[in-house]
Amino acid sequence: MIAAACLCWAASKPKPLSAYDSEAKALLVRMTLEEKIGQMTQPEQNELKDPADVENYFVGSLFSGGSSDPKEGNSLKSWTDLYDRLQARAQKTRLKIPILYGIDAVHGHNNVLNAVVFPHNIGLGCTRNAKLIEQVQRVTAEEIRATGIQWAFGPCVTVPQDIRWGRTYEGFSEDPKLVRELAGPAVRGFQGRGLDDPLGVLACAKHYIGDGGTVFGSVKTGLDQGDTRVDEATLRRIHLPGYLTAIEAGVGSIMPSYSSWNGVKCSASKRLLTDILKTELGFQGFLISDYNAIDQIAKDYKEAVGISINAGMDMVMVPARYREFFNDLKALVNEGKVPMSRIDDAVLRILRVKFAMGLMDPKRNQLADRGLQKSFGSAEHRAVARQAVRESLVLLKNEGKALPLSKKAVRLHIAGKNADDIGNQCGGWTIDWQGKSGEVTIGGTTILTAIKNTVSKDTKVTFSKDGSGAAGATVGVVVIGEKPYAEMQGDRADLALAPEDLTAVKTMKAAGIPVVVVLVSGRPMILGEVLGQANAVVAAWLPGTEGQGVADVLFGDYQPTGKLSFTWPRSVGQATAAPQFAYGYGLRY
C-alpha cells in the first residue's frame, strides 16, 4: 500500500509556501515582539528549566537531540506521551500557536525502541534507487507521526569529500550528481502529498553548506565542524546540488552547518543564508540553526545572536540558553541592532510552514494520532527496510564463486564482532546519539540470526567471535568492521581494520576453508591483507535492524546490485589516485 501510494504525487509541483502569506501575515500583525521571538526559539525538551517556560516564553518549537529522551525511557508510549504533554502547553498561550517538534530521525525513527532502523544514507546511495529512498522516508515519516512528532532533521544532503569524517555515512555519496538525484525523493518521502499530509513530516535539508568539504586538521578533532576552503564556484559545484532538488521538492526547512566557509561560520554568513539561499534560489521556508551553533560565532553571546539573525537565521536551536537568547534578541531589537523587518521575515517564514502543515487548522487535533501505532515497527515497514538492505550491499570480490552460499551446506561457521550485534549493525544515531554496541533496540535481526533463519534444517551453524573452531566447516563467514560512532567522535586519521578483525579473518583462513568477509562500516575501510585472505568480500555498510536483507543476498535469493557511492581507497590520504575499487564498482553473481 505504501509503495503504491508514495509515488503518485512524485511529479506534482508543490504549492509555494508564500501561498500561505495572507493567513500568516494576518496572525503576524496580532503578535507582540515577545510572541515573535518565542516562535524563533527552540529549546531542547530535557533542558527546560520549567515546563511552564513553553507558555511563558511563547516557545514555537522544541526538539530532542540524539540522547534527549523521555524520562520514562524510549518506548513508543513514552515518546508519544512526552510530545502530547508539551504540545498541550502551547494551547495555554494567548494565540495557541502549536509547537513544531523536531527530532534526528536520520535512518528511521531511530530514537524509539522497536522502530524500523534503515540503512544509513551511505548504503541508500549504493542502491541508486530514488523510488526506494522515497519509500524509506514515507515509512520513517509514518513512524515519526505515530509519536505525534511532525519534523525530522533530514535528509542529510552532504557530499563528503574525505571519508575520515565521522559523518561520512550520513551522505548518500561523494558525487554531487547522485546526491542531487536522491535529495528530492527523500524530501518527498518525508513530506508526503504536501506539508499538510497527516502521515508526512516537515523535512529539513542539512547541513548547508560544505559540511562534507572541510579540510583535515582545520579543527582539533580532524574534520567535523571544520573549515571548507574552496572558491564559490567549487562550493556551488560540489556542495549545492542537493539543496537545489530539495527546494524544488518543496522542503520546508534547511539547517545551516556548524562548519565554516573560508573562515566564516555558515551560520554567520549573509552571503550563504540570505543572498544565495533565500534571494537567488527562492527558498521560502525557514532556517534552523544546529545545536548550540550560535555559540561558535563570537565570544560575546549577544553579539553572536545578532550576527546570525541578521545573516538570515530564522529559528535558533538553543538547547539550554533559551532564556538568555530570548532576552538578548529582544534587547537587540530594542537597541535597533536587529531590525524589526528581519524579525518579521523570520516569523513569517515559520508561520508559513505552520499554516502549510495544517498546524493552524482549528479542526485538526495537534496531539498524536495513536491509531498510527498499529503499524509502528510492522512487518510491512520492515519489508521496505529489508529491500533497502539488499539493494545497498556491494559485492567487492567473489573468487571461485564463493558466493552465493548454499542453504544446504553441511556446516557454516560464523565469526566476527559484528555478526551478532544489533548495535554495531545499526551504527550511530540509534537510541543514543553515538549509538552503542549490543542490544541497543528491539525487533531487529542480527546477521547471525538471519543466516540461521535462512539455512536448511540439516545445516549446522556454529559461531565464535574470534574465528576459532572453524576446522571442518564448509564455509566461514566473518562479519567485521566498525563499532558505532557519530559526529565529533567519529573522525579518524586511520581507517585500518581493528586487530580483532584481522585476527578473526586470519584464524578462519587458517582452518583451510573458503572465507567470506562481510564488512559492516560507515565508510570504506582499508582492507589490507584481508582482501587477499578472503575469497569473497561484501560491503554491507550500516544496514540497520533488518539483517535478513544481508542473508537474502549471501544465499543468492537476490543478486547483489549495489554500486559504490564512494571511491574505495587502497590507503588513507591516497583517495582517488589509484583506488582499490572505483566509484560505481560492484560485482554480480
Say whether the peptide bond before residue 413 is cis (omega within 30 degrees of 0): no
Yes or no: say if 522 and 392 are a contact pair by the CB < 8 Å rule: no
The one-letter amino acid at 524: P
SS3 state at 438: coil
- Residue 158, sorted as left (phi over 0), alpha (psi -120 to 50) or beta, turns out to be beta
* Cα distance between residue 239 and residue 348, in whole Å: 28
Q: Which are the contacts of 153, defined by CB distance < 8 A and separation ≥ 6?
A: 63, 102, 103, 104, 105, 106, 204, 206, 255
Its sign, for the CA torsion 273, 350, 294, 327, is positive
Beta-strand relationship, 260-261 and 264-265: antiparallel
Cα angle for residues 105, 48, 64 (degrees, 5° grid) = 5
DSSP assignment, residue 339?
-
Yes or no: say if 479 and 414 are a contact pair by the CB < 8 Å rule: yes
> Maximum distance among all alpha carbons in the chain?
80
Beta-strand relationship, 411-415 and 394-398: unpaired
- Catalytic residue at 175? no
* Cα distance between residue 536 and residue 520, in whole Å: 14
Residue with cell 506539508: 195
What kind and span of H or E run contains 307?
helix 301-311
- Among residues 35, 142, 181, 290, the one annotated as catalytic is 290
* Cα distance between residue 434 and residue 111, in whole Å: 11
Indicate the burial class of 458 (C-beta count within 10 angstroms; 0-12, 13-18, 19 or more): exposed
Yes or no: say if 305 and 347 are a contact pair by the CB < 8 Å rule: no
Say whether the peptide bond before residue 155 is cis (omega within 30 degrees of 0): yes
- Among residues 487, 491, 501, 552, the one annotated as catalytic is 487
Per-residue cell: 91: 494551547
- Catalytic residue at 487? yes
DSSP assignment, residue 401?
G
Yes or no: say if 109 and 142 are a contact pair by the CB < 8 Å rule: no
Strands (E), 308-418: 316-317, 394-398, 411-415
* Cα distance between residue 583 and residue 545, in whole Å: 27
* Cα distance between residue 105 and residue 123, in whole Å: 16
Q: Catalytic residues, which ones?
A: 290, 487
